[in-house]
């Protein structure tokens, strides 16, 4: 599938984005495997299928910009540059986890990487992200708060309160709806009345658009347009990403609400494979170059796995630390 590179990324930059997408894919496949082996417990929500969203957005991010999301957060924290070893060790609940094994899959944070979680209550991260945008404006920082939410959150009341506040107070916030078509097992057709989801924000005076979230180039182009709009107008913006998750809602999802045919059809527009094909066909990047990247990632994931299983369990005294500062 040909896609124009309107943002004039160099081949090296494009390869870096591909590398990140591939990293997320392989990381998540490993997480699924470790979950199956009983090494990861609790809830584990995989990002497989949605990689183009977070990396497309990343291509527009200034390093100081902040990011917040809900519980499907592995891809987001990896995109933000956090060491995959500390992310996987959090999933395995070990001492070297990014949250010292006390957060788990859904609760990971890194101030140094401007990543504010990692939140388990659908919709709750949206007012929080607007508050982070408030702090940027209050301190006259030239930063944008990037707030991810799913299609499920788009029927949650506090999200609309947050839209209202962001628009009313003209806060530098980019809302990104990752519309993967299902809030857990309920399709958007069975949960959301009316038209497009992003249009629900436009009634608050927030400009927005809907984008093919399976294609890195489309996402990137839209994200850069959004950044320019926010910087120029000091107002929030919303993008609805048309995307799809190839795995279940969580690891314990029997998948009764959708057909195998539907999933297989969507896999034909796998964002990672599409990106790779574009790099090979349109950018004439050598297959060996990509293979080298892929094999490095596969090797890295092996190290990540090993590290996350060898890291000790948290010290028992950690039970009572960090309740208060």
Partner 1 sequence: MKILLPALSPTMETGNLVKWLVKEGDSVVSGDILAEIETDKATMELESPDDGKVEKILVKEGTENISVNTEIALLKVDGEEIEEIQEKPIEKSPQVSSNGSEPLASEVNISMKSLLNQTKQNSGEKNWSEKEISMREALNQAIEEEMKLDKDVFLLGEEVAEYDGAYKVTQGLLEKFGSKRVLDTPISEQGFTGLAIGAAMAGLKPICEFMTFNFSMQAIDQIVNSAAKSLYMSGGEINVPIVFRGPNGAAARVGAQHSQCFISWFSHIPGLIVIAPSNARDAKGLLKSSIRNPNPIVFLEHELLYKEKTNVPEEKDFLIPIGKGNLIKEGKDVTIIGFSMSVQRILNALPSIEKLGISPDIIDLRSIKPLDEELIYKSVKKTNRVVIVEDGFGNTSFGSHLSYLVQSNCFDFLDSEIIKVSGKDVPMPYAENLEKLALPNTDEIVSAVKKVSYIN
Q: Which of 49, 75, 93, 104 binds partner 1 (CB under 8 A)?
A: 104
DSSP string, 105-131: TT---BTTTTEEEE--STTTHHHHHHH
Best CA proximity match to 145, nearest among 234, 85, 212, 207 = 234
Both structure tokens of 249: 């809602």
- Closer by beta carbon to partner 1, 131 or else 208: 131
- Number of residues counted as binding partner 1 (CB under 8 A): 49
Closest contact distance (angstroms) between CB of 145 and partner 1 is 8
Both structure tokens of 290: 């990509």
Q: Indicate the SS3 state at residue 149.
A: strand
Residue 47's contacts (CB-CB under 8 Å, 6 or more residues apart) are 24, 28, 54, 72, 74, 75, 76, 245
State the Cα angle at 275 between 273 and 276, rounded to 5°. Answer: 65
CA distance 232 to 82: 30
Q: Indicate the SS3 state at residue 323.
A: coil
Q: DSSP letter at 315?
A: P
Only segment of 22-30, 77-85, 95-103, 198-206 that touches partner 1 (CB under 8 A): 95-103
Q: Which of 80, 100, 146, 227 binds partner 1 (CB under 8 A)?
A: 100
- Closer by beta carbon to partner 1, 100 or else 245: 100
**Which helix (DSSP H) or strand (DSSP E) does residue 43 occupy?**
none
Only segment of 74-82, 153-161, 216-224, 234-242 that touches partner 1 (CB under 8 A): 153-161
Closest contact distance (angstroms) between CB of 6 and partner 1 is 32
Check residue 97 and give left, alpha or beta (phi > 0: left; psi -120 to 50: alpha): beta
Site for partner 1 in 107-146 (CB under 8 A): 107-111, 116-121, 124, 126-136, 138-139
**Other Cβ atoms within 10 Å of 37 Cβ, number:** 9
**Other Cβ atoms within 10 Å of 292 Cβ, number:** 12
Residue 109's contacts (CB-CB under 8 Å, 6 or more residues apart) are 98, 99, 103, 115, 116, 117, 118
Does the protein bind partner 1 through residue 324 (CB under 8 A)?
yes
- Closer by beta carbon to partner 1, 161 or else 282: 161
Does the protein bind partner 1 through residue 197 (CB under 8 A)?
no
- Closer by beta carbon to partner 1, 107 or else 181: 107
- Closer by beta carbon to partner 1, 183 or else 213: 183
Q: Which of 165, 192, 223, 293 binds partner 1 (CB under 8 A)?
A: 165
Only segment of 43-51, 98-106, 204-212, 257-265 that touches partner 1 (CB under 8 A): 98-106
CA distance 295 to 141: 40
Does the protein bind partner 1 through residue 161 (CB under 8 A)?
yes
Closest contact distance (angstroms) between CB of 301 and partner 1 is 23
Does the protein bind partner 1 through residue 68 (CB under 8 A)?
yes
Does the protein bind partner 1 through residue 42 (CB under 8 A)?
no
Does the protein bind partner 1 through residue 273 (CB under 8 A)?
no
Does the protein bind partner 1 through residue 202 (CB under 8 A)?
no
| Contact call for residues 58 and 20 (beta carbons, < 8 A) | yes
Q: Which of 59, 60, 66, 308 binds partner 1 (CB under 8 A)?
A: 66
Closest contact distance (angstroms) between CB of 190 and partner 1 is 24
Binding site for partner 1 (CB under 8 A): 66, 68, 97-104, 107-111, 116-121, 124, 126-136, 138-139, 157-158, 160-162, 164-165, 168-169, 321-325
């Amino acid at each position: 599938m040909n896609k124009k590179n309107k943002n004039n990324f160099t081949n090296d930059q494009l390869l870096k984005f591909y590398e990140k997408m591939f990293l997320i894919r392989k990381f998540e496949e490993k997480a699924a495997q470790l979950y199956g082996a009983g090494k990861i417990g609790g809830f584990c929500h995989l990002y497989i299928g949605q990689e183009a969203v977070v990396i497309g957005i990343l291509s527009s991010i200034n390093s100081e910009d902040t990011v917040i999301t809900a519980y499907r957060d592995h891809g987001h924290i990896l995109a933000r540059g956090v060491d995959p070893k500390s992310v996987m060790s959090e999933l395995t609940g070990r001492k070297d986890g990014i949250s010292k094994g006390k957060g788990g899959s859904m609760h990971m944070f890194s101030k140094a990487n401007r990543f504010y979680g990692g939140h388990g209550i659908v919709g709750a991260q949206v007012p929080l992200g607007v508050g982070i945008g408030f702090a940027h404006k209050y301190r006259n920082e030239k930063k944008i708060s990037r707030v991810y939410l799913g299609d499920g959150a788009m029927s949650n009341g506090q999200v609309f309160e947050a839209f209202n506040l962001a628009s009313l107070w003209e806060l530098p916030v980019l809302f990104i709806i990752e519309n993967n078509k299902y809030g857990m097992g309920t399709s958007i057709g069975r949960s959301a009345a009316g038209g497009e989801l992003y249009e629900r924000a436009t009634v608050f005076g927030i400009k927005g658009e809907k984008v093919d979230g399976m294609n890195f180039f489309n996402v990137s182009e839209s994200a850069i347009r959004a950044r320019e709009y926010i910087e120029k107008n000091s107002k929030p913006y919303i993008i609805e990403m048309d995307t799809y998750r190839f795995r279940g809602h969580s690891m314990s999802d029997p998948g009764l609400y959708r057909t195998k045919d539907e999933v297989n059809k969507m896999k034909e527009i796998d964002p990672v494979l599409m990106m790779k094909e574009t790099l090979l066909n349109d950018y004439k990047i050598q297959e060996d170059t990509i293979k080298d990247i892929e094999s490095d990632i596969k090797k890295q994931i092996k190290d990540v796995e090993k590290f996350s299983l060898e890291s000790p369990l948290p010290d028992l005294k950690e039970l009572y630390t960090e309740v208060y500062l």
